[in-house]
Amino acid sequence: MKRPPLGSTGLEVSELGFGASPLGAVYGAFAEPDGIHAVRTALDLGVCFFDVAPYYGDTLAERVLGKALRGIERSSYVLATKVGRYGDDTFDFTAERVKHSAHESLTRLGTDHLDLVQCHDIEFGALDQIADETLPALRELQDAGLVRAVGITGYPLDTLRHVADRAAVDTVMSYCQYTLQDRRLARYVPGFARSGTAVINASPLAMGALTERGPAAWHPAPEPVLRRCAQAAALCRARGNDIARPAVQFAVTTGTFAATVVGATDAHQVRRTAGWITQPPDTELLHAVEECLAPVRDQGWANGRPDDQHPPARP
């Protein structure tokens, strides 16, 4: 497993990160021992980067991840969590709340420091507040030694770019936008690199749309996108393959990101994913899948506050 630097933070992550939102039962119920086993298996396979948030399962994911990491040498893994989002429609990016939130995460995760704290889904906040109040509050936690690096996450790339231009951020995480179906994140990487911001690619399986199981009912992608993803999965199945395999291989081996973060709740999935990135992609299958998904390439959805506070796209 490669260990790239996380931008200029001084941290090293694994190229494959463990996304812990499924440990919040975001994709359905799971047995806690299985989730803990998945985390331990990831560590055994060289995964050292873990991403979580209080929002996932109303703190459940942080509590399960905290249990799974108990007793593991702290310097052997890089732990990222988030602040500011606490429910589907519950956001609070005030300095007071995010500082308190980081302290709560420290307790749930059973650690004395967080390697990375990210403002969660900034498109739902007031961007002025994120830049002028939230990020400075997180920098204060960094000065106090509780946090090593500070970042932002969200879906609209122009919004992430706008805030990264206004306030120094160490990392940016976006999701579902460097996959077999959507490549838009790649266009933003050089711009973020110029401002010294590491880019983390989350959800290379398009939050389940590029899996055999298919998307959860809450998946926000337009119906034609989900239909094409299902057709691509069927195409892979007909050729004796699981679409998750080319999806993971494509994102990890062709993406130029600090890390690619995949979510899982069971050790079997973790083993398969870690194995796939060591194998060469089946280029013929990849082309067939790309052709199938071409009519919906780069099609996403609107995300964020309904008021028009977002700047126009500017990679």
Please report whether residue 59 would count as binding ligand NAD according to CB under 6 A: no
Residue with tokens 């790239």, as numbered in its chain: 4
Site string for ligand NAD, 208-237 (x = CB under 6 A): x--x--------------------------
Please report whether residue 19 would count as binding ligand NAD according to CB under 6 A: yes
Contacts 24+ apart (CB under 8 A), 278-287: 279/249, 281/246, 281/249, 281/250, 281/253, 282/241, 282/246, 285/236, 285/239, 285/241, 285/246, 286/180, 286/246, 286/249, 286/250
Q: How far apart are CA 1 and CA 149, in angstroms?
A: 23
Nearer to ligand NAD, 82 or 148 (CB): 82
Nearer to ligand NAD, 106 or 233 (CB): 233
Residue number with the smallest Cβ distance to ligand NAD: 263
Indicate if 56 belongs to the active site: yes
Burial of 129 (0-12, 13-18, 19+ CB in 10 A): middle
Please report whether residue 22 would count as binding ligand NAD according to CB under 6 A: yes
Site string for ligand NAD, 157-186 (x = CB under 6 A): ----------------x-x-----------
Least separation, in Å, of the C-beta of 260 and ligand NAD?
A: 9
Q: How far apart are CA 286 and CA 282, in angstroms?
A: 6
Residue from 13, 206, 221, 285 in contact with ligand NAD (CB under 6 A): 206
Please report whether residue 249 would count as binding ligand NAD according to CB under 6 A: no
Residue from 57, 156, 204, 304 in contact with ligand NAD (CB under 6 A): 204
Residue from 134, 171, 203, 249 in contact with ligand NAD (CB under 6 A): 203
Please report whether residue 152 would count as binding ligand NAD according to CB under 6 A: no
Contacts 24+ apart (CB under 8 A), 27-33: 27/208, 27/216, 27/263, 27/265, 28/216, 30/265, 30/266, 32/64, 32/67
Least separation, in Å, of the C-beta of 291 and ligand NAD?
A: 22
Q: What are phi and psi of 121, to 5 degrees?
A: 60, 65
Nearer to ligand NAD, 79 or 261 (CB): 261
Using alpha carbons, list the distances in angstroms from residue 286 to 209, 235, 280: 16, 11, 11
Which residue type, as a one-letter code, is found at position 67?
A: K
Which amino acids are annotated catalytic? 56
Instruction: Using CB under 6 A, list all residues that contact ligand NAD.
Output: 19-22, 27, 51, 120-121, 153-154, 173, 175, 202-208, 211, 244, 261-265, 269, 272-273
